[in-house]
Structure 1
């Protein structure tokens, strides 16, 4: 499912939004080839630059190669903006072409009309119902990407922070191909959403890599006093999104989900050290540190 918090980001970027069934991201993940199609030196050879258009993701997305397999194990977060260069059909699915020979599925940007088989309530990203909003049976509704999972149930994204249960549309055929191309590997995981930077420490484009994306790391370098880790050719992320920062609890602390709900009844004690990733994120008006695996601890527990 996608979801919930928002954050500013030390090179980080926004919120933690879970995006299961998220569709597309890619490139070879060997730490040398461009991973996101946004590098400053980005290869535009072979693409029709007259078709260049900036498009905003409405659904999390994988990157694919020209065979329709995942080019890497990254996930571009919904809300990211990508420059595309026309469409191409791979198999029976339509893709936008980006730089560096990468492709992103069109249905992550553009709505696909589906007919409701029954009346349907509309929900928010935390699975709570939008009061008074009911979509009528047989009406056509635009959906984005494959269904995502929120609190164990499948939903289609129909708009910003608006969702409809997938079951209301009857049988659904999943489109996203989760098969990686041969040779795609990873050796680290993003603990926090992350922007991409070049070797000068400048943000490249507006693609946000989602927390839990798997990356292959290259060199670590310090740029203007800030440490970065290489993930592709002239592509870096803030190292705190990958290696994190050890922080000592000053108060008893519980672990929370991306929805701001407490997980379990066991608390961590003051004096314990916890690894946190990136800047604080905001969930339902409260600030938290990400501790990995879609889990969070309140910022106040460290003060």
Structure 2
């Protein structure tokens, strides 16, 4: 996404030993004298947001804006989120991969009742309040990432054996029915595997399959305009039944029609780093 020099965004890679836990960290530095509002495309990841300036705001679909004073856990991000970065604001976002959030907190956010929480509510103590203070005192984003990884190393648990097949198949769209395949392999019921998807990942295999189709279509539209898009080709390549099916997915995930998305795509941030 192209941005003016006074509005800086970027990614900070994680060391190899952390690459099954986090995607690259994402940061925003708004050096402008006015707030900036953007739309985050769904990622199906749970994210941990640190805000180092005046309160930022995040607005889930059909919800009132919520202030982010210091840190907030959001997710899994299944629908688009509108967020506003204040003037002179700075934010750092940790993107948990697959079952990594469960391995960190021992639970996953599965409902909109729990969709937005301060991380200390999950930990049951005030350690994140202290972490936020330490991160804010550091001079740059790379040092903040390094400090956050040192903190995370204390809490990350080994992957449960029950989650291995689920993690390995969670984003493999070449498997037609991953739940059935895992259930047959493990000698368990499909219902039991479905519950484990929710437990470890926070979403179902069916939800992920729909998202993967949408994500690929979104990638095909990058940089295009309405006049250069062959919609029949988009429908066919995306595996949609018809154009109405395609439009329904865009309305579901982004709250926009495909044509509206093409007009506004510079304001829509597409997650990077996911396979």
TM-score scaled by length of structure 1: 0.29
Query: Comparing both structures, which one devotes a greater share of its residues to helix?
Result: 2
TM-score scaled by length of structure 2: 0.31
Query: Comparing both structures, which one devotes a greater share of its residues to strand?
Result: 1
